[in-house]
Amino acid sequence: MAIKEIIEALKSKDLRDLGLKENLAQLVKDIKLLGKELDILLYLPRPGLEDVLKSKVEDALAQMSYVEKVNVKFSGSPPQGIGQSVAQPTFAKRKVPGVKYLIAIGSGKGGVGKSTVSANLAVTLANLGYKVGLLDADVYGPSIPTILGLKGERVSLNERNKLIPLERFGVKVLSIGFMLPSEDTPVIWRGPMLMKALTQFLFDVEWEDLDFLILDLPPGTGDVQLTLAQNTEVTGALVVTTPQDVALADVRKTTVMFREVGIPLLGVIENMAYFICPDSGKKYFIFGKGKTAEFATAYGIKVLGSIPIDPDVSERSDKGEPITAFVPDSPVSKAFRSIGELLIQEIIAGGKAHV
């Protein structure tokens, strides 16, 4: 964890040469890593120490490849607990304006159906009568425009310089794919640029009043996930996995990441759980049965639902016709409806207010 390592590095700098008994970490009032740019707010024990403290911070972090730029600011009031224990940085998390519940959707690996689940869950919640937005932050493979039939679309800005999301199946949609010159353009943005774009995608958007904003994250535990988690008020996270061992091994890491950054886990969604034979109606557990439940029990999270594997899902996704909008009575759509209802219960049970 980047911030933990930064704090450790600051801890190792004592300030005895300045006549102070604290180490550098104990002066930290606030700390925020945005891409590779670090903002630190330090307590200034006495005037005149600004330059020397600044260079001590730079010195402590010189070896850290994920910090390219450090901005040090000072404050005259001490952090709580100074002189006793290392200051616990309070991350100044921002709430996305106009959004009641921000739900992040993560996965361990690519290809497990995270974007398919994000899109169909958004459509399902809209069908249940909620105001829903969907933000495709999967910068390495934005597939939401294809799944929702918005390929090639572009977004525009309103007179207040805010992005106006597109609307489809009752869902407000924004995707990094709407910003790329063509579908085949690889996203080779580096950390800080990427984070700037994503921050704009969350905060400089005319989301208006939304009950839910579904955030389709890139797979894994990279910079995007961590930075968003540290800077944004997220109601909770869902993790999507398929029941194979390889997928479950990676989703464990993603689950631990959400835990470490203090985002409540609302549940796991098991995708491609089984195949229903169209002739006999019999269920075949192609990738194995019971492993997702085992993982969920071990990590103390709920399985919110299991979605069958159905060729109609992928065929319709490729055509921009999400199954939940076009075949509401299919077993897949019913599974999504049940997941949507359980998600709402989880939010209420977690004391996250009322929907």
Contact residues for ligand ADP (CB under 6 A)? 107, 110-116, 143, 271-272, 307, 309-310, 313-314, 317
Kindly state the smallest distance separating residue 22's Cβ from ligand ADP, in Å.
Answer: 46
- Residues near 175 by beta carbon (within 8 Å), at least 6 away in sequence: 135, 136, 142, 144, 145, 150
CB nearer to ligand ADP: give 38 or 217. 217
- 183 class by beta-carbon count within 10 Å (0-12 exposed, 13-18 middle, 19+ buried): exposed
Kindly state the smallest distance separating residue 225's Cβ from ligand ADP, in Å.
Answer: 14
Kindly state the smallest distance separating residue 327's Cβ from ligand ADP, in Å.
Answer: 13
Kindly state the smallest distance separating residue 323's Cβ from ligand ADP, in Å.
Answer: 9
Separation CA 209–CA 1 (nearest Å)? 34
Kindly state the smallest distance separating residue 63's Cβ from ligand ADP, in Å.
Answer: 35
CB nearer to ligand ADP: give 231 or 317. 317
Kindly state the smallest distance separating residue 146's Cβ from ligand ADP, in Å.
Answer: 9
CB nearer to ligand ADP: give 9 or 323. 323
CB nearer to ligand ADP: give 61 or 144. 144
The residues facing 132 across adjacent strands are 171, 212
- Residues near 141 by beta carbon (within 8 Å), at least 6 away in sequence: 110, 115, 218
Q: What is the 3-state secondary structure (H, E, C) of the chain?
A: CHHHHHHHHHHCCECHHHCCCCEHHHHEEEEEEECCEEEEEEECCCCCCHHHHHHHHHHHHCCCCCCCEEEEEEECCCCCCCCCCCCCCCCCCECCCCEEEEEEEEECCCCCCHHHHHHHHHHHHHHCCCCEEEEECCCCCCCHHHHCCCCCCCCEECCCCCEECEEECCEEEEEHHHHCCCCCCCCCCCHHHHHHHHHHHHHCECCCCEEEEEEECCCCCCHHHHHHHHHECCCEEEEEECCCHHHHHHHHHHHHHHHHCCCCEEEEEECCCCEECCCCCCEECCCCCCHHHHHHHHCCCCEEEECCECHHHHHHHHHCCCHHHHCCCCHHHHHHHHHHHHHHHHHHHCCCCCC
Kindly state the smallest distance separating residue 124's Cβ from ligand ADP, in Å.
Answer: 14
CB nearer to ligand ADP: give 66 or 275. 275
Count the neighbouring beta carbons within 10 Å of the beta carbon of residue 184: 6
Kindly state the smallest distance separating residue 182's Cβ from ligand ADP, in Å.
Answer: 19
CB nearer to ligand ADP: give 143 or 324. 143
Q: Which value, in Å, is the radius of gyration of the alpha carbons in the chain?
A: 22
CB nearer to ligand ADP: give 28 or 313. 313
CB nearer to ligand ADP: give 15 or 239. 239
CB nearer to ligand ADP: give 89 or 145. 145
Kindly state the smallest distance separating residue 272's Cβ from ligand ADP, in Å.
Answer: 5
Kindly state the smallest distance separating residue 214's Cβ from ligand ADP, in Å.
Answer: 13
